[in-house]
Amino acid sequence: MFDLDLWREIFQSINKNRTRGLLSGFTVAFAIMLFTILFGIANGLENTFDELFIKTADNAIYVYSGRTSKPYKGLQVGRAVSLYNEDFEYIKNEYSNKIEYITPKLSRNFQVSFINKKGSYNVLGVHPDAQHIEKLKIKKGRFINLNDIKSHLKVIVIGRLIEEDLFGKTSAIGQYVNLEGINYKVVGVFKDNGGDSQERLAYLPITTVQHIYIGKDAVGEINITYNRKMSSDEALTFGTDLTQTLRQRKNVAPTDQRAIRVNNMALQTKGIETMTGGLGILIFIIGLGTLIAGIVGISNIMIFIVKERTKEIGIRKALGATPKSIVSIILIESVLITALAGYIGLLIGVGVLKWVGPSLKEYYITNPEVHFNIIITATIVLIAAGTLAGFVPAQKASRIKPIIALRND
C-alpha cells in the first residue's frame, strides 16, 4: 500500500522544517560514520592477518627430525633420527581423512647453470602436493607429477626469477639446466606471492634427489596441510597425536623435542582466531554502542520534535486525523531522516577510510574498507533503527489530546 499523499505530507513536513531535520540527521550521520570507520578498521586488521599467511598455508604442519636429547628404551642420547619414505607413506595413509595435502621435502643448495649463466639456488625435492602447500602458481608448463616421482625423472620446475636470471627474456620450458654436472629438463615455471626469495627456488621430484644425491630414501622433513573441515582445536589434537605416534614409531622418548619436532600452524591460527574473535566482539560492542547512542539520540530529538509539533498534531486531530495517521507521519519521518542521514554518514565514513586508509599500514591496518553487503545490512539496520527511534515519540504524539494542544498559551 503506497499512499502518495502520506509521503507528500511527510516530505513537506521535512522540507519546511529543515533545521530540525538537520539536527536529528546530524546525530545519526555521526553515529553511522563512527560505526563505518570502526568496521573498516576491523576489516583492515583482519586483512593484515590474512596477508601474513600468504607466504605459506595457515593450516600447515611441519614435521622435522634431529638427534635424540633423551635416553629411551636403552638407546643412547645423540642418536640421529631420520624420516624415510615409509614414514611419509605411513602418515599419509594413517591420517588420510585429516590431511589435505602432504609432501616430503629435501632441500639443498645447488649451483644451477644454463650455458654461461649460473647462480646458487635452494633446490627442493618434493611430491606434487608441494605446489598447494607452498601456494605456487604455475606460470607456464606444469609442476612435478606422480610419474616424475615414480620414474625418478630428471625434470625441474623453477621460480620465475630463476628463469629471469638464467634465461633472460627467452622461455626456459624445454631447455636443460645443469645442477652440478647433471642436466635437468625445465618442465615448469612458477610464481609465488610470498616475495623474491620464494621465486628463486626450484623443485625436483624427491625420488630423483634421493636416487642421485643421497643414495637412500631419507626425507628431510614432511610438510602437511590439515583438512580445513577441522577446527583449530581439532587440528591441534591431530598435531599432538601425530607427534606421539611418530616418536613411538621412531623409538624416541615421548618428550624428546629434538628428535621429532612438529610445528603446527594451528597454534598461531588459534591464537589469531581468538584475537580476531576478541577484536570482533570488541568492535561489535563499540559498534552496537554507537548505534544505540545514535538511536537514543534521534529518539530524543524526535520526542523534542513531537513536543514542538504538539499544536500541529492537535490541529490535525481536531480536523479528523486518526491516531494511526499521526503515528505513521512521525514514524516515517524518523525512518526517512535516519536512513538518509545514515547513508550520508556511511558515505563520509567510507570516504574517510579511503582517504586515511593507505597511511594506516604501519598500524597493521591493511585496506580498511566496508563491503557492499555491509552497506545492505546497514540499510536494514538503519530502517530498523529509525523505526525503533521513532516508536516512542510516535506513540507520544498519537496520545496527544487535541484539547491540550489547542490551548491558547
Partner 1 sequence: MLEIKQLHKSYPIGDSRLHVLKGINLSVKEGEMVAIMGSSGSGKSTLLNIIGMLDHADSGDYILDGLPIKNLNEKKAAEYRNKFLGFIFQSFNLINYKNALENVALPLYYQGMKRKERQELAMFHLEKVGLADWAHHLPKELSGGQNQRVAIARALAANPKLLLADEPTGALDMTTSYEIMEFIQQLNDEGKTILMVTHEEDIANMCKRIIRLRDGVIMEDTAIKQVRAKQHV
Residue 311 binds partner 1 (CB under 8 A): yes
User: In this structure, what C-alpha cell is assigned to residue 247?
Assistant: 616418536
Residue 234 binds partner 1 (CB under 8 A): no
Task: Output the smallest distance, CB 327 to partner 1, in A.
Answer: 11
Q: Which is nearer to partner 1, 9 or 217 (CB)?
A: 9
Segment 142-149 long-range contacts (CB within 8 Å, at least 24 positions apart):
142/187, 142/188, 143/188, 143/190, 143/203, 144/203, 144/204, 144/205, 148/205, 148/207, 148/208, 149/205, 149/206, 149/207
Q: Which is nearer to partner 1, 106 or 313 (CB)?
A: 313
Residue 316 binds partner 1 (CB under 8 A): yes
Closest CA to 29 of 253, 248, 351: 351
Which of these segments, 31-39, 145-153, 218-226, 310-318, binds partner 1 (CB under 8 A)? Answer: 310-318
Give the 3-state secondary structure of residue 165.
Answer: helix
Query: Strand ranges (DSSP E) for 192-308?
Result: 201-205, 218-219, 221-226, 260-264
Residue 401 binds partner 1 (CB under 8 A): yes
- Please identify which residue in 217, 234, 273, 312 interacts with partner 1, judged by CB under 8 A: 312
Residue 194 binds partner 1 (CB under 8 A): no
Size of the site for partner 1 (CB under 8 A): 27
- Please identify which residue in 318, 354, 371, 377 interacts with partner 1, judged by CB under 8 A: 318
Residue 395 has φ and ψ, to the nearest 5°, of -60, -45
Pairing of strands 182-191, 155-159: parallel
Residue 181 binds partner 1 (CB under 8 A): no
Q: Which is nearer to partner 1, 12 or 255 (CB)?
A: 12
Residue 2 binds partner 1 (CB under 8 A): no
Task: Output the smallest distance, CB 404 to partner 1, in A.
Answer: 9
- Please identify which residue in 22, 146, 281, 406 interacts with partner 1, judged by CB under 8 A: 406
User: In this structure, what C-alpha cell is assigned to residue 177?
Assistant: 639446466
- Tell me which residues in 27-66 interact with partner 1 (CB under 8 A): none
Query: How far apart are the two ends of the chain, measured CA to CA in Å?
Result: 39
Task: Output the smallest distance, CB 357 to partner 1, in A.
Answer: 43
Q: Which is nearer to partner 1, 314 or 349 (CB)?
A: 314
Q: What is the dihedral of CA 315, 316, 319, 320, to 10 degrees?
A: -140
- 5 Cβ contact list (under 8 Å, min separation 6): none
Residue 1 binds partner 1 (CB under 8 A): no
Binding site for partner 1 (CB under 8 A): 4-5, 8-9, 12-13, 16-17, 311-312, 314-325, 401-403, 406, 408
